[in-house]
Amino acid sequence: MRTQQTLVMFAIFVGITLVATFWASGQSVTRRGFYTANRRIGGLQNGWAIAGEYISAASLLGITGLIAFYGFDGFMYSVGWLVAYLAVLFLVAEPLRNTGKFTLADLVSFRLRGRGVRAIAALSTLAITLFFLIAQMVSVGAIANLLLPRLGDVTAIVAIGGLMLIYVLFGGMLATTWVQTISAALLLAAALLLSVLVLGHYHFSMANFASAAAAVPGAGHITNLFQPGLLFHGALGAWNLVSLGLALVLGTAGLPHILMRFFTVPSAQAARTSVAWAMVLIGTFYLATSFMGLGASTIVGKERIGRRIYAGDAIAYIAHHPAQESSLNDQLLHDGYIVPKPDSNLAAPLLATSVEGSLLTAFVAAVAFATILAVVAGLTLTASSTFAHDIWFVLIRNGAGDESEHLRVARAAALVTGAAAIALAIALRGFNVAFLVGLAFAVAASANVPVILLALWWRRFSRSGAILGMLCGLVSSLALIAASPVLMGNRAIFPLDNPGIISIPIGLAGAILGTLLARDRESEQMFDELQVRANTGLGAEI
Amino acid sequence: MLVRARRRFVVPATLFFIAYYLALPFSVGFFPHVMSRPVIGPLTLAYCFALSQFAMAWILLAFYLWRSRRFDLQAAQVRRRETRELSQA
């Protein structure tokens, strides 16, 4: 029953967005239309689209679950996602709008002309985008298994991948923007509705809610969910926290698919307005994760969050697992079902079941899929623009070729990226690829951010500095993740899960060292032009 | 002028928010017992500090939006001057 409700709601979302795609297809007949929606998206809508691009299903399901199970330590993540936007606001949004054309590499090679800089910038953009894309597509399978077990993970991956390709191929940036706007609205609606229902359960008394959450027991010496230490502990727990925080807060300002959204607005003021709206929406959502997560652990209860097995199946399960017999029997008698393995990812949907019923549960599931669709569409578009604009148009064809050739290449690149993502997601089904998201943030923070900042602020910064900085950031993040406990378990050479605290300084040092080694007069002369354009918008793309 | 005025705001604001944000994982990681103390009802110091980060982000956002109106005016002046020089030349 719930499967059908979810599918119907998701189908309504797809129907509305397909109409938008059909209407947008007339506009994406030029490169400018395809990559940037002709720079005619308003600041308000771009803010909603940034929120839709940024908040993933992993936040709705994963963060809510982490807060439900680990309390404060889960909420630590929520804080970083919002604060990171201050870096976007202060440092990159407006200059990027004024100096960029289609891709991140455009900004960097504005004053650092040359094929080397563009090639390495394109490479790091592709690395970040593809890591994200694979992580998202693999999570489609996992979420389908969780929320729609009757549908099957392969069907879900193919369906989401196929839909994403339709939006990107036919509607380009305009359709992607609408998908993201609508999915952000649904996401906010689901989060706020759940939060209000949680508070309603406690008769809208914050004091009652807080004392209920404080009554949930922790583990070891930690007595309740408001205390830190349930998730990050041990000697290196603190350094892991700091390293993760650093990568999160700086990395966002280097994520190509977020930065690409600033090319869609008509002015630097609109870019600023869009960050402002995005921060209001993203902040509201992540504040709501606190209510959803703590609500799930108080109203549903940790031991009831997980796949539920009912009646005959439950009895058969107990018969096969005699060791847990007495506790499972108690649970069956008390609740009418058993949860043999708690799974934090089900916290939000099961909270919906507890506070409302199957309709809200189906809505939360449908929103999760809509969210993934919005995120992967943006990622595929970013990868396609980098392939077609940076690699094909600038590096291979040296700027030659007409409009229709560029569009053909862009669409072909999107098709190949999407097809590869679908195939990889099916092959990697069931693997835990969550580390890819951390890796993407680490590469963005270590390879992109130092180079973007120095290109915008340091007169002497040179081409060799940009190339060395990006290479150092990219290689050190990849190497440190490969040697970390995430991939090597107990035999890890590098003790931290997130490389940020080491790889960001390495990337920055590479950029400075490369600059000091060789003087680059041409890039220094271009600095003044860049400053004028970045700050006033004179000569910027309109 | 404009670039310098902008820098005067952006650099301290950036350093401040990074320091304020990193203070959270540092304090929680290295002084868990202090941070576990309840301060407002059952809410611990750590949780209040985390919630204050949301307020900090929104206040800095509002402050920047207010200041940037002045940057916009200056940028418009520069643009007007440039276009006048171009038309005279």
Using CB atoms, pick whichever of B3, B13, B46 lies closest to residue A228: B46
Q: Do B54 and A79 touch (CB under 8 A)?
A: yes
Question: Please, which pLDDT band fits residue B1 given cuts at 50, 70 and 90?
Answer: low
Chain A residues touching residue B77 (CB < 8 angstroms): none
> Which residues span the domain enclosing B81?
2-88
Complex-level ipTM: 0.92
**Mean pLDDT in chain A?**
88
User: What pLDDT does A372 receive?
Assistant: 92
User: What pLDDT does A236 receive?
Assistant: 77
Say which residue, A415 or A149, is predicted with more confidence: A415
A239 touches chain B (CB under 8 A): yes
CB < 8 Å from B in window 59-78 of A: 72, 75-76, 78
Note the pLDDT tens digit of each residue in A416-466. 999 999 999 999 887 777 788 888 999 999 999 999 999 888 888 988 999
User: What pLDDT does A406 receive?
Assistant: 86
Using CB atoms, pick whichever of B60, B65, B82 lies closest to residue A538: B82
Nearest residue of A to residue B9, measured between CA atoms: A90
Distance from CA of A86 to the nearest CA of B (A): 7
**Chain B residues bordering chain A (beta-carbon distance below 8 Å):** 2-3, 6, 10, 13-14, 17-18, 21-22, 24-26, 28-30, 32, 35-36, 38, 41-44, 46-47, 50-51, 53-54, 56-58, 60-61, 64-65, 68, 71-72, 75, 78-79, 82
Distance from CA of B54 to the nearest CA of A (A): 7
Compute the CA torsion angle A185, A191, A195, A198 (nearest 10 deg).
130
Q: Do B79 and A86 touch (CB under 8 A)?
A: no
User: What pLDDT does A252 receive?
Assistant: 93
A284 touches chain B (CB under 8 A): no
Residue A542 has pLDDT above 70, yes or no: no
Chain B residues touching residue A79 (CB < 8 angstroms): 21, 24, 50, 53-54
User: What pLDDT does A395 receive?
Assistant: 86
Using CB atoms, pick whichever of B6, B41, B50 lies closest to residue A75: B50
Distance from CA of B88 to the nearest CA of A (A): 17
- Other C-beta atoms closer than 10 Å to the C-beta of A10 total 23
Question: What distances in angstroms separate CA A356 from CA A126, A196, A259, one per listed residue?
Answer: 43, 11, 38
Of all residues in chain A, the percent with pLDDT exceeding 70 is 99
Which of A59, A79, A326, A74 lies closest to A216, judged by CA?
A74
Residue B89 has pLDDT above 70, yes or no: no
A79 touches chain B (CB under 8 A): yes
Three state DSSP letters for B12-79: HHHHHHHHHHHHHHHHHHHCHHHHCCEEECCEEHHHHHHHHHHHHHHHHHHHHHHHHHHHHHHHHHHH
Chain B residues touching residue A249 (CB < 8 angstroms): 18, 21-22
Using CB atoms, pick whichever of A75, A83, A237 lies closest to residue B21: A83
Q: Are A295 and A198 in contact (CB under 8 A)?
A: yes
Q: How many domains does chain B have?
A: 1
Which of A410, A350, A441 lies closest to A169, judged by CA?
A410
Which of A63, A41, A61 lies closest to A50, judged by CA?
A41
Using CB atoms, pick whichever of A75, A86, A245 lies closest to residue B22: A245
User: What pLDDT does B15 receive?
Assistant: 93
Note the pLDDT tens digit of each residue in A178-209. 999 999 999 999 999 999 999 999 999 888 99
pTM of the model: 0.92
Chain A residues touching residue B68 (CB < 8 angstroms): 272
Distance from CA of B75 to the nearest CA of A (A): 5
User: What pLDDT does A52 receive?
Assistant: 93
Using CB atoms, pick whichever of A226, A287, A536 lies closest to residue B42: A226
Of all residues in chain B, the percent with pLDDT exceeding 70 is 96
Residue B71 has pLDDT above 60, yes or no: yes
Domain residue spans in chain A? Answer: 2-306+342-536
In CATH, the architecture of A2-306+342-536 is: Up-down Bundle (1.20)
**Using CA atoms, how far apart are residues A231 and A298, in angstroms rounded to an integer?**
18
Residue A374 has pLDDT above 60, yes or no: yes
